[in-house]
A and B are shown apart, each in its own frame.
Chain A
Amino acid sequence: MSHIYRNNLPLRLKASREGVALVQETTPKIIKESNDCSDSFSEMRNRFLSFKKHKYLENLECYQELAKAQAPKFLVISCADSRVCPSYILGFQPGEAFIVRNIANLVPPFENGPCETNAALQFSVRDLQVENILVTGHSCCGGIRALMGMKDEEKSSSFVKNWVKVGKAAKSIVKATASNLSFDQQCKHCEKESINNSLLNLLTYPWVEERVAKGLLSLHGGYYDFVDCTYEKWTLDYQKNSQNKEKSGYAIKNREFWS
């Protein structure tokens, strides 16, 4: 048996690019800390060196100040999609925005319990005291598509399906109001509706609502359509919402469309 095992030598994979020694350990450890990297990452290295030369060293004072402390004015909750980085499409520079990126830019409600999104929410609101939260969604979102395509009450072992269920209230609204539209159009509606669902979920956190009520924190929604490069933004009208508590739905203000 051992002979056969040796002949069917399994793929012993190493992350290191040095030599071909058999790796005995199974726990990762820092093998080397050096400024070298393999050929595969020479581009990353070159890009970092370019950043250092053209941005870091040319703005050294700014970076030195930032190194002492950050005081961003925004918390941005954005999708992990490679096409929608807020640093890129909204031009956030170092120090400007505390950024959370997850599948479909979802914010679960307080009662769902701890997760990475509300940990970052707590840190940015309570400790960094950001003044604005922007939940920014986008077109052709795979996560929203997965949500819309799921059967109701579907039990799945898929992580994605278990996560996007956070947006099910948005899906219900879309199904109730836009079921006559094509699936693609419904997905687009859900992408926007989900942003509002997330904004309302933000208010389920007491320390968020407290600051919003005092006028110290504003909640904004944003939608980036990367097909025609437009950006739509709006702000949750907390005062109006709190006045009309019996009504379902929500009020928004300052809606703008940039094209």
Chain B
Amino acid sequence: MSKDLNKEAIEPRLVEELDQTNLEKIITPVLQLPLTFDPIQRINDGFKHFKINEFNKHPEYFQKLAEKQKPKFLMFACSDSRVSPTNIFNLRPGEAFMARNIANMVPAFDKLKHAGVGAIIEYAILALEVEVIMVIGHSRCGGISRLISLPDEETSYDFIDRWVSIGEPAKAKVLAEHPNATGQELQTLVEKESVMNSLGNLLSYPYVRLGIANKKLKVLGGYYDFVCGKFQFLDVHHHIEQTTNIQE
């Protein structure tokens, strides 16, 4: 797309009819041409827009929020620049405590290896008392591609490989159930199964189990397909009960 824009702007155009449509066809691509990218200006513009159009228009809302946050959701989403849940669900500040990492993974409870994710879950449930944990996967996930391409039984010391291998059970399950799947079909199956794997890993945290048993917490999966512009919820069945004392 950008290549065409550049071409249109640089080559001289013979405009035979100077009507509105032709003018727009010339001017619009030029205006859209990226000038030298200034990262500071970009975030300055973004912040100004937020302050003028959101913060200043709802001072009471933001004042209350500044005192305390009480989000209903904890969301796990991929770091991918295309899948911000804020954009997709039009989330307002205060609605969702959000973890973003490669391939939206939740590792199983491990104090040594996964303090970062554990801290997010612990804080969200114990301090913020969120009601719903949502794990959102997506199409064309680079992390899942990497997981699929990982050779079996080889330990990599690469940071990315160590992280995405959390999804190995999902990959193994898909390969066992769909031995002939390849390419995009395989990718999509693993993307979705990895969400389920992460939901399962959530249950390895005692406060998640307790929250579910006490009916104060729900866990849910989702899958955002930005190729087709679709979203689906991925449901999970689990069997969580309060402990029962054996009495004589």
Q: Do A and B bind each other?
A: yes
A residues sitting closer than 8 Å to B (CB atoms) are: 1, 4-5, 8, 10-16, 23-37, 40-41, 44-45, 47-48, 50-52, 55-57, 61-63, 65-67, 70, 72-74, 80-85, 87-103, 114-124, 127, 131-132, 134, 139-140, 142-143, 157-160, 162-164, 218, 220, 222, 226-227, 229, 231, 233, 235, 254, 256, 258
Contact B120 A80 (CB under 8 A): yes
Query: Does B108 sit at the interface, judged by CB under 8 A?
Result: no
Chain B residues closer than 8 Å to A101, beta-carbon distance:
98-100
Residue from A8, A48, A85 within 8 A of B88 (CB atoms): A48
Other than A119-B102, A226-B66, give 5 A-B pairs with Cβ distance below 8 A: A8-B244, A30-B234, A41-B233, A67-B227, A74-B39
Residue from A31, A40, A55, A124 within 8 A of B236 (CB atoms): A31
B residues sitting closer than 8 Å to A (CB atoms) are: 1, 37, 39-40, 42-51, 54-56, 62, 65-66, 69, 71, 79-84, 86-102, 105, 111, 113-124, 127, 132, 139-140, 142-143, 158-160, 162-164, 192-193, 196, 199-200, 203, 212-215, 218-220, 226-227, 229-244, 246-248
Contact A80 B162 (CB under 8 A): no
**Least CB separation from A131: chain B residue:** B39
- Min CB–CB distance A250 → chain B (angstroms): 19
Residue from A55, A70, A114 within 8 A of B87 (CB atoms): A55
Contact A132 B39 (CB under 8 A): yes
Residue from A34, A92, A159 within 8 A of B84 (CB atoms): A92
Chain B residues closer than 8 Å to A132, beta-carbon distance:
39
Chain B residues closer than 8 Å to A118, beta-carbon distance:
159
Chain B residues closer than 8 Å to A27, beta-carbon distance:
200
Contact B238 A254 (CB under 8 A): no
Chain A residues closer than 8 Å to B231, beta-carbon distance:
35, 45, 48
Chain A residues closer than 8 Å to B111, beta-carbon distance:
157, 159, 162
Residue from B40, B200, B215 within 8 A of A256 (CB atoms): B40
A56 to B100, CA, bound (A): 22
Chain A residues closer than 8 Å to B44, beta-carbon distance:
256, 258
- Min CB–CB distance B92 → chain A (angstroms): 8
Contact B219 A15 (CB under 8 A): yes
Contact B81 A72 (CB under 8 A): yes
Chain A residues closer than 8 Å to B158, beta-carbon distance:
122
Chain B residues closer than 8 Å to A82, beta-carbon distance:
69, 71, 93-98
Contact B43 A116 (CB under 8 A): no
Contact B229 A85 (CB under 8 A): no
Chain A residues closer than 8 Å to B240, beta-carbon distance:
11-13
Contacts A102-B120, A158-B122 given; does A29 touch B102 at CB 8 Å: no
**Least CB separation from A222: chain B residue:** B43
